[in-house]
Amino acid sequence: MARWLPRSPDLARFFQKLNRVKTLEDDMMETSFNRCLSTVDLTLLGIGGMVGSGLYVLTGTVAKEIAGPAVILSFIIAGFASLLAALCYAEFGARVPKTGSAYMFTYVSVGEIWAFLIGWNVLLEYMIGGAAVARAWSGYLDSIFNHKIKNFTEAHVGAWQVPFLARYPDFLAAAILLVATAFISFGAKVSSWLNHVFSAVSMGVILFILVMGFVLAQPKNWSAQEGGFAPYGLSGIMAGTATCFYAFVGFDVIAASSEEARNPQRAVPRAIAFSLGLATGAYILVSMVLTLMVPWHTLDPDSALADAFYRRGYAWAGFLVAAGSICAMNTVLLSNLFSLPRIVYAMAEDGLFFQVFSRVHPRTQVPVVGIVVFGLLMALLALVFDLEALVQFLSIGTLLAYTFVAASIIVLRFQQQKAGGPAAGGSAVAAGGRPGAEPHESPAAGELKEYESFSDKLQLVDRDKSKEHREPGQLKAAFEPYLEFLSDFYPGEVVTVAVVTLMVSAVCLCSILVFGNTHLHLPTWSYCLLLVLFSLGFFLSLLLIWAHEQQRSTQTFQIPLVPLSPALSIVLNIYLMLKLSYMTWLRFAIWLLLGLLVYFGYGIWHSKENLREPRAQRLSARYVVFPSGSLQERLQAVQPSAQPAAELPDTHTAEDGKR
């Protein structure tokens, strides 16, 4: 029976396949897409992706059912957490100007299977986002006509009483998605022009809402008679924060469009900063206005802003808001349909998804097959599913993508730049060497080391520990006397282990915070003890990462305070994920299992990294570097290219005699 069990070398190769990273081209600016988008184009794409149904629908839903007027605090916390994630996206988008967003960022730094799972979840995120916005668009248009569309559909088609499905099929939502799909197929310039028009109308409507809303504001609506400012307490605020993440998912459309930006190194970070700042301010101010105009418990979750103006006696204003919100939601539809096919294209181009989606139309220079197929899938989702169930599912995919991108930033910062890797300014380290290596460095006196691979280990053998200049991933000189046992590891290995430990500690810490008093019913002493232990593990992992050298400043944008900023993003994202309902996690687990079936059934076999893997060799060599003699003398015997092949046997014999 033992012969049927996999051998250790086979298992090692299998796990290496799962964790292999993507090899980037030398010229990352080369692309089959049309680089035609400016900083303004990207900024308006980001604003269009964030300011839409979240502003006109989620503000009312979260205020009435989850947080009350404290929805303002929910948006502030969600905006701060999104800022941490956005900075990570900005650094990656500038350094790796390729389409794919979180999928691409994870692939170049963490590993293939993790990248596929992130890409798989991002696909669902965009499909659900587009479907949810289309249903909100339909609901707002229906409210303008006094729900005549809904009543007509229920009377002639019928109503459903099925969990997670809409009460009636929304043909209008499906139709608008099909129309938007057709426009997106015409190319990036057409999509950008349409987005400019709708964004201008949307920002005008938001300005009107703020001015008119503050005129009609009544502070008594936050008083104790109406339930107070935070009727659901801190738990409601944090639960609202998890749902409010839906409002900020649009900024990653900028990173997904980096392959079509003229100057991604500058345009991507600036566009992300501008769009996220404007969107966060709009959400906070509109939430404030909405809950001051009418009591929070009387809001209409489906069309809160328009209904608030109607109830205050300004029917014309409500009509204007409803019409403007439709324009805003059009920008979100364009954003989702713009990003989704490009992420599918990136996965298909790498061989992890079906190859048909990697085809780019020669005239429009967009992935038309992906646009049409996933536009149809979005239309199907909008036709039959309930908006609230879709929004809850959307948040978990977004938070998971943010978490992995933040972890990827830490891993990438403490890795040595490899050939074909994301190096600043397009430079890369030559294979078999390291930047800044001196040609005549020798090992420290009295040091004996054995290595199994000459090309992989030369840089470690040739390291001078007393030299101040150290490469990324190596232990800082100040910590070496105290952590000397860590200096024998590969540069970056300890950091990778510490990142995994940090994430595990964050999951345990957040689980205790969320479930310790409610579901687990822990005694006070054990609750506090576990909090201290997991917090200690988190901060020790953070300190261990910080004790290593990271890559020096580059010409592209870099997130400040690494590893602290990404670590805060990780722990906050995990906390918000755990605040979501168990049904959301169940549906998420089912989607992940489907993704694993696709990966192991197709992706792992068709990955283009298979073509770059060297063929397995049965021969292996071991090299011993002695403290005496120079490094060059000891290694001459294992460099066949430096001397004629006929002389190799004699040279090896002579060297063996010396040893």
How would you class 564 by CB atoms within 10 Å of its CB: exposed for 0-12, middle for 13-18, buried for 19 or more? Answer: middle
Please check whether residue 247 is in contact with residue 54, taking contact to mean a CB–CB distance below 8 angstroms: yes
DSSP strand pairing (623-625 vs 449-451) = antiparallel
Q: Given the structure tokens 């969600």, which residue do they identify?
A: 78
Q: How far apart are CA 591 and CA 472, in angstroms?
A: 37
| Residue 5 scores a pLDDT above 70 | no
Torsion of CA 489, 495, 500, 502, to 10 degrees: 130
Q: What is the mean pLDDT of residues 431-450?
A: 39
Q: How far apart are CA 470 and CA 479, in angstroms?
A: 13
Supply 453's token pair: 């691979």
| pLDDT score of 407 | 93
pLDDT digits (tens, 9 = 90+) for 281-328: 999 999 999 999 999 988 888 778 888 888 888 888 877 887 778 888
Alpha helices in 219-314 (DSSP H): 233-244, 252-256, 264-293, 304-311
Phi, psi dihedrals of residue 37, rounded to the nearest 5°: -95, 135
Q: What is the mean pLDDT of residues 568-594?
A: 87
Q: Per-residue b/e over 197-236, b at no fewer than 16 CB within 10 Å?
A: ebbebbbebbeebbebbeebbeeebbeeebbebbebeeeb
Q: Quote the DSSP letter at residue 465.
A: T
pLDDT digits (tens, 9 = 90+) for 69-83: 999 999 998 888 788
Phi, psi dihedrals of residue 623, rounded to the nearest 5°: -120, 135
Q: Quote the DSSP letter at residue 33.
A: S
Q: Which of 113, 124, 138, 165 is nearest to 56 (CA)?
A: 138
Q: How far apart are CA 262 and CA 599, in angstroms?
A: 33
Q: How far apart are CA 88 and CA 112, in angstroms?
A: 19
Q: Which residue has the higher pLDDT, 636 or 207?
A: 207
195 contact partners, CB below 8 Å, separation of at least 6: 41, 44, 45, 48, 331, 334, 335
Supply 294's token pair: 């009418």
Map residue 475 onto helix, strand or coil: strand
Q: How far apart are CA 652 and CA 586, in angstroms?
A: 62
- Ranges 409-423, 443-457, 555-569, 604-618: which has the least confidence: 443-457
| pLDDT score of 468 | 55
pTM of the model: 0.79
Alpha-carbon distances of 375 from 179, 339, 426, rounded to whole Å: 9, 11, 35
